[in-house]
Structure 1
Amino acid sequence: MRPKSWQFNFSPTDLRLLRVFQAVVRHEGFAAAQDALGLSAGTISNHINHLEARFGVRLCERGRKGFSLTPDGARIHEAAENLLRSVEHFAGTVGSVRGELSGTVHLGTVDAMHTNVEASLDRAIAQFSSVAPKVMLHVEIASPQDLMQRLLDGRHSLIITPIEAVHPSVIARALFREEQRLYCGRGHPLFDADHVTMEQLRSYPYAGRTYMQSGSHLRDQAFDWRAMTSHMEALAILIKSGRFLGYLPEHFARAFVQQGEMKTLLPEEATHFDSFFLAHRRDERNRAAMVLAECLVGAMTVAEPKA
């Protein structure tokens, strides 16, 4: 497919096609990328075909066997990530020279943040939008493992996440501590029990978070792991099934308890607190990202609760 000789002159159309390609890779397929791009699968396919013709290589396999990058596509995907980040940084630099905040800021966070009224993410975003109305803010939700990887490879400028060990290239600032309680769902044998002991709890199936399988989370290792997930909503579903015990943020599970769908187990003995941080790379040069960081610290830093 490669021509014998090839010279590439970049155009705005190429940037647009590369953004489509990156979205397809991020969502692992044409159909999955439709909502993010606002395009039909057929239009996305045409864009990718055009990009392949431009580059003279096949970028991805698609069909009944599913979506996958070719080796050439993987290399171009990585190069495109670097290119698009450079374009965003350039736009931000031009804005700084002009005395204004512009460009794009990529913020990553764990899920189940919207119910934490003390550490208010929405208040921080409102403040940032008022001082930087021209900045494109891109917010994504992912697991702590994915967030750190995306921070390290430059896909995110800032992340909000629990961190055990900070990478040498990362600066992390404490935001808040989140109360975690142990729950069971209606229909679980312990839901109507009058007396429960820690020893009893360890004998029932447990649904845990994938990032707590090792490290300092020794409390989780005492349970009988039978299910796992990276996200709070999925964990809530597992607990509500009545078949698993599991930890959830108290602010997130409060509504389930009030509705009689969950029960807190041994709040005095089993409760613990997770620390959350705002992290960015030491070499971060995006001025808008640093302004957002100050807004996040101002709105989300709360007093340390007693453990």
Structure 2
Amino acid sequence: MTRASIPVGQIGDYEIKQLKIFKTVADCGGFSAAETELNISRSTISIHISNLESRLNLTLCRRGRAGFALTEEGSVVYDATIKLLGELDDFRNTINSLDTQLSGSLTVLFSDTISLDNRARIPDVFRRFSKLAHEVYLTSEVARMTEIERMVMSEEADIGFIPYHRSLDGLEYQHIYSDHCFLYCSRDNPLYDLHEDELSDEIIDGFPVVYAGMKTQENINGHLANMNLKATAYNYESRLALLLSSKFIGFLPENYAQPYVESGELKAIAPDRRFYTLEIMAITKKTSTVNKVRSLFIKTLLDFYHEH
């Protein structure tokens, strides 16, 4: 090789296209034979090869009466081109297969009844995610929302679903749906048969109340401030059991209480003024570290909600 070495510099899409044409010409043994393979004219092929030679400051092939042949430099470039195109294909295949070759684990935590709430569509989200990442080991548990926050922050869990009650700097929040919560009593409760005009705040606030037993949003605390707090039950199921005992009243999400209202076992008390709204959120940790499994689950979740 007699030419002075000149740095090639950045290789872009155009140079890669020229290298592909050069490889095809070499494989076909000439410009004429490559016309059909490339579906471009011989003159266009010649222009591309000439431009590539100018770009590399090399003579890659001889063409003339003696036929087509790679130069010594052309043979080196040909071998390097095969290696480069092979690595590009490997890169492309790796990226394209990431979603289908994911492995590892994913831990998802739910507060109370969110996992089976029809508005969250969690079984559908799990079904779609499992098709995309069938090698991922899934863990799904129910926990108190403060415990869910702690575990997501410490990366013991990947994603949590909780009622929004505060904003923590280390967490990201994605709204899922809203819950409207009303105050309920059971059929055997003395408040059940009282007319709305008889349900004064004094009477309501004097009756024993079961509540979550933790500090929550200000609008909830405002409702509880003057009430007769006599029992604690964080989970809706255990709270419902105390309500059905007829000895307590308490707040429940409308969607959760609806079947019991329809059967006559529960009744909303003063629904025009004794209610509040819970925003149900999906929470993840703010981090610069890429977690492909978690990212795929969140994308699956958001895509599903967007479609429905």
- Correspondence for 1:258: 262
Q: Given the superposition, is the C-alpha separation of residues 187 and 137 from structure 1 closer, same or farther in structure 2, using an over 3 Å criterion?
A: same
Q: Who is 1:201 aligned against?
A: 204
Q: Which amino acid aligns with 1:235?
A: R
1:185·1:241 contact (CA, 8 Å) conserved in 2?
yes
Structure 1 match to 2:192? 191
- In structure 2, the CA distance between the partners of 1:154 and 1:106, relative to structure 1 (3 Å rule), is same
Structure 1 residue 301: deviation in Å?
7.4
- Name the CA shift for 1:300/1:222 in 2 (closer, same or farther; >3 Å): farther
Secondary structure of the equivalent of 2:272?
helix
Question: Which runs of structure 2 are paired with 1:26-45 in the superposition (5 Å)?
Answer: none
Q: Is the 8 A contact 1:171 1:281 kept in 2?
A: yes
Which residue in 2 is equivalent to 1:151? Answer: 152
**In 2, Cα distance between equivalents of 1:194 and 1:252:** 24
Unaligned runs of 5+ residues in structure 1 are 1-94
Structure 2 stretches lacking a partner, 5+ long: 1-93
Cα distance per residue 1:30-87 (max 9 Å; x no partner): xxxxxxxxxxxxxxxxxxxxxxxxxxxxxxxxxxxxxxxxxxxxxxxxxxxxxxxxxx
Aligned match of 1:175:
176
2:299 pairs with 291, 294, 299, which one? 294
Structure exhibiting the larger radius of gyration computed from Cα positions: 2
% of aligned pairs identical? 19
Structure-2 change in CA distance of 1:183 and 1:166 (3 Å):
same
The 8 Å contact of residues 110 and 142 in structure 1, kept in 2 or not, is answered as: yes
Which range is displaced more, 267-276 or 242-251?
Answer: 267-276
Residues 165 and 217, structure 2, Cα contact 8 Å, conserved in 1 = no
Distance 2:226 2:303 in 1: 37
Letter in 2 for 1:122: P
Partners in 2 of 1:258 and 1:277 — Cα distance?
A: 28
Q: What secondary structure does 1:211 align onto?
A: coil
1:109-163 alpha-carbon deviations (Å, 9 max, x no partner): 1112255322222221122112221111101101111111111222111001123
Which runs of 4 or more aligned residues in structure 1 lie more than 6 Å from their structure 2 counterparts after TM superposition? 95-98
Determine if contact 1:183/1:262 at 8 Å carries over to the other structure: yes
The answer to whether residue 144 in structure 2 is matched with residue 140 in structure 1 is no
Once superposed, what is the RMSD of the aligned Cα atoms?
2.5
State the AA in 1 paired with 2:273: E
Distance 1:136 1:265, change over 3 A: same
Q: What amino acid is the match of 1:294?
A: K
Structure 2 CA distance for partners of 1:197 and 1:159, relative to 1, 3 Å? same
Say whether residues 1:224 and 2:228 are aligned partners: yes
How many residue pairs match? The answer is 209
Closer/same/farther in 2, CA of residues 301 and 180 from structure 1, 3 Å limit:
farther
* Secondary structure, counterpart of 1:269 in structure 2: coil
1:279 aligned partner = 283
Distance 1:106 1:182 in 2: 33
Q: Which whole-Å CA distance do the structure 2 matches of 1:300 and 1:189 have between them? A: 43
| Distance verdict in 2 for CA 1:153–1:207, change over 3 Å | same
